[in-house]
Structure 1
Amino acid sequence: MGQSDLDLLTGADATELLATAVSTAGGELVDWSVRQVDHRPGRSTTVAYRARVRWASDGGVDAPVRTETLGASLGRPGDQQVPGVLTLDDGEHAVAVWRFPGDPALPALATAYDAESVATLLGDLGVPEVARGPVTLRVRAYRPTRRAVIEASTPGARVFLKVVRPDKVDDLHERHALLAGAGLPVPKPLGRNADGLLVIAPLAGESMRHAVRDGGAVPTAAEVVGMLDRLPDEVALLPRRTSWSENAGHYASVIGAALPAEAGRAAHLAAVVGDRISGLTADEPTHGDLYEAQVMLESGRITGLLDVDSAGPGRRADDLACLVAHLETLSLLRGWDAERLRGLAREYAAGFCGVVDPTELSARVAGVLLSLATGPHRVQEADWPAQTSRRLDAVEHWLTGAPG
């Protein structure tokens, strides 16, 4: 799929698409904006929208305007239609459109976003302390067709509901159970259902991102490595997932499709990353997606580790590079202390060089940065082309300079 697919779901044609879907559901589209884009060249394009809608059931033209999250995914003509999802097919493109929480790929999301259903589910799963009393739900994350996280709480307790595709929930439960059983501070799995919903317990502490943002105490490089040393050997026996740096070519193609002016540079950088990490055995236990938002702290001490979805065999350098690359990316964001965060990224890199090969670490930092360079377009920042180019500049820096 090429640039025309992006235009179809993010350009002027999307107005008619969304208006038709809303009208079919009994509403009037007032306006809309793109919130998130997941473009996978040659595979799929999925977009989340912030839409303002008047619903006939609320009173027609006199009804209040409500803010809704809509989703649309571009597939192939003849794709199976899903109940509750409008599929528009012009013979060339088949686009599925839905209203949150009716995501066709995440059937458990409707249950997870209904307070009465959640109370019943938690009672059935043996979590009665949350099931007692009114349940309040808060969406913490949503990636259309991929995953969602919803916090469910009562005055006395709370849990988190992770929603994934049904064929992934058993694997996700296994990872949480394995790591929790080995004594790692990961969320304890409390139960799951076949539709793709996993219930997990909360962790103590506060996200490391807050400490990074505010200049608070953070763990040393040695403490981060020590936490990874606690990963049990059994993690290396789990199904292997391609790391961020190994997927550099894919992310370069995503950048090139969204921003053709940078296509050549992105492809070249991806090729350099690929050359530098090729042929390395990936059989060490890894977290798979380690960065500051995944680490919980109390007074700078690590108390928790989140999102173990990608835990499995890999390279220790990938985990360490992921943390460094995310800190480097935060230094490029408006409102963040660029100099302090850039210094923190290099401080961690210097500390990690005593554990992994510095050349490999730099290449993998560059690879993760290349994946993160898709972010400005994905979340539709106002000046995303310029921000994408800045992130590619950072990729170049880590490929040409020594870590630390």
Structure 2
Amino acid sequence: MNREDRGGRVRAEGGSSVVSLVVYLAALVFGMSSVLLLRRPRTAVRNPLTLSTCVAIALGALVFVCAAPATLSAVNELTGIPNFGAPLTYGMLSAYSCAVVVLLINWRGGPRERVRRMVLCSVAAYGALVVAVVVLFALADADTERLTDLDTYYATTPFMREMILLYLVGHSAAMLVMCAVCVKWAREVTGLLRIGLRLILWGALLDVLGFQLTKYTAVVARWRGHDLDFLSTTLAPPMASLAALLCSAGFVLPRLLPAVLAQWRGLGDYRRLDPLWSLVKSVSTAPKPPAAWWQLPQARLQWREVSIHDALLALAPYFDHRVRERVRDTALGAGRSPHEARLAAEAAMLADAARRAAAREEPPETAGTYRLHATEVSGTGGLVELAQALGRSPAGAASNAAPGGAVPPSMA
């Protein structure tokens, strides 16, 4: 091999490595999206929409893995058949296109029998397309291995030409249907679902214009004796990767963002409960869960909420209504609303009760049954309000600074 041939091979291998890296990154993004959606496998399997979404995303990731030049070279070498990776990739792409159509069918919904019939028809159509791809490859003469420019190199080769055109048409049909459905549904829905549909639409359009159209153009140019191979080898792969990123974001966003926001709100409530927890944690008898850094905020918040309620129940015999009434009257006289006055009064009474319990004093004579506002409302909102009122009161601030969360007697 002369120096020029060796240099050309080195450049080709370097370009293949770059393309492989881009494609593998796209596969990783697609695959992570599927893992996130399938975080509860038992629930996902029983939900056709979630299952079809995960299958479509997983197949999309496999398409990128199969299409990487490094994978193609390994498959060709393993099977001993030049370009065997081509029908494998094109068959996987056709399966992904079928999964996209099935996803759209399940997304739209309708009578179960109608959905089932449409799914079976789609699987049959794309199954026939996969068989045709394999048969055409078997009939073709494709002995020269091409890792990055197979579509254009064999664009005029009998049977290979038909195979290339067939897989492109099958994928285009699925993406165009997806575009049409996203445009229609985006007008009918709002919020995160609309944003997700628009992201999927942009990804599908980028796939059609940035990947498929460049492939069609490069192939047709070969038919006419021109060389526009760079469209297929250089432009199409990154466009397909970007399209996959947008589509995966569109699939995942409406499903995961509400859960992420709920966890974020849980973390905020968990932290806002600090003043209340610092005051009553020495009284709580609730069993502590095993400390784990991977516990989600909602789980931590739930345990703290249960522990606080347990502590409030233990402190109830120490509630001094004279303290509560005195602080309430003072707050009302200062122009605060009845609700704010009640919270301030309950915070003062609770701080006093925590002091009495820490000092092992006898319950006050005025003790009696009284329900705190935080125990009358569902959720953590009432506890958060009480914690914030406690943090604003002098007694609450002193309780947080005192050892063990107890209020010093001087603050009673």
Q: TM-score range by the shorter chain?
A: under 0.3
* The structure with more strand, counted as a fraction of residues: 1
Which structure's CA Rg is the greater one?
2
* The structure with more helix, counted as a fraction of residues: 2
- TM-score computed with the length of structure 2 as normaliser: 0.22
- TM-score computed with the length of structure 1 as normaliser: 0.22
